[in-house]
Amino acid sequence: MYSHHSHSGQYCQHAKGSLEDMVLKALSLNYKLLCLTEHMPRLENKHLYPEELETNTSIQDLEKTFDDYFAEAQRLKAKYAGRIELLVGFESEGISPAYNNYTKQLLAKYDFDMFVGSVHHVNGIPIDFDEVQFTQAMESCGGLEQLYSEYFDLQYAVLQLHPTVLGHFDLIRLLSPEFDLKNSGVWPKVVRNVQFAANSKCLIEINHSAIRKGWTCPYPQSDIVEQIVKFGAKVCLSDDSHTPLQIGINVAKSLNYLLENGVTQFHTVTGEVVSIERFLKTMI
């Protein structure tokens, strides 16, 4: 089992369980690889999550938490070496150019093994938290298609940082399932981003969390997987777990979905190439 994206309640207030709890659960499921990827700190109070505002968390608190996370992750990596491969990384926030520059600073400051490049905001407004904020983001852009256009431009800017893994490619669809992306004017930007990821050897994660949020498939949807196959981009597996109970959930569903859409293997950031058919047989 493998996952390139995880969070713990010890360092993320909308998650549960300690970082070591996450590792122990992965061990209990015979995981070979788990990437620890807590969120990067925010730069401005307006980008704090609601639970952080409720606890009066400051920007300085987030910086200290991130520093503590890196130290604990390194401790766990050493403690469990030989039993599970733990890679220490983080999830970036492609909110603005300032955040992308901050990502570069974090990569220079810490000796990270990898990082997940993600977009959760458009015009500084969360697009996956609730419908109220999604509507605010849409209105700030002047409409739904413009919102999608801005999202994929922000994602393209994140790709210029050469993330190890591209996070939940079409997260923007979570609260707007009615939008016909493939037949919109935004579609060329989707194709551009997939092609860039393929050429830059960035792994596109197959993120199982969409299934637990009500989708019948992981991120990204099949129209984008079709482009992944077309351009030869590589995919990896991520459960985007926020509690120990979410580790390993919906893996088989995601793998069967990949097979149905022409993907026969997945990759890891350590260079392993895994046959999906063979891997599914080991899960029976």
How does pLDDT run across 143-198, given as a tens digit for each residue?
Answer: 999 999 999 999 999 999 999 999 999 999 999 988 999 999 999 999 999 999 99
CATH number, residue 246: 3.20.20.140
DSSP tag of 185: T
Tokens 């995981």 belong to residue: 31
DSSP tag of 87: E
Other Cβ atoms less than 10 A from the Cβ of 199: the count is: 12
Question: Is the peptide bond prior to 220 cis by the omega test (within 30 degrees of 0)?
Answer: yes
State pLDDT tens for residues 134-156.
Answer: 999 999 999 999 999 999 999 99
Q: Look at 178-182, 238-242, 252-256 and tell me which has the smallest mean pLDDT.
A: 238-242
Residue 13 has pLDDT above 90, yes or no: no
State pLDDT tens for residues 60-90.
Answer: 999 999 999 999 999 999 999 999 999 999 9
In the predicted model, what is the mean pLDDT of residues 202-229?
Answer: 95
Q: Does pTM surpass 0.85?
A: yes
Residue 17 has pLDDT above 90, yes or no: no
Residue 284 has pLDDT above 70, yes or no: no
Residue 208 has pLDDT above 80, yes or no: yes
- Per the prediction, the chain carries an average pLDDT of 94
In the predicted model, what is the mean pLDDT of residues 11-31?
Answer: 89
Nearest to 205 by CA among 184, 224, 186, 179: 224
What are the CA-CA distances from residue 222 to residues 117, 228, 242, 253 (Å)?
A: 21, 9, 25, 14
Amino acid identity at 189 = K
The CA distance from 219 to 175, in Å, is 13
Tokens 């996370």 belong to residue: 69
Residue 172 lies in domain: 2-283
Residue 221 has pLDDT above 70, yes or no: yes
Q: How many domains does the chain have?
A: 1
Amino acid identity at 232 = G
What is the phi-psi region of residue 17: left when phi exceeds 0, alpha when psi lies from -120 to 50, beta otherwise?
left
Angle at 26 between CA 25 and CA 30, to 5 degrees: 120
In the predicted model, what is the mean pLDDT of residues 218-241?
Answer: 96
In the predicted model, what is the mean pLDDT of residues 220-238?
Answer: 97
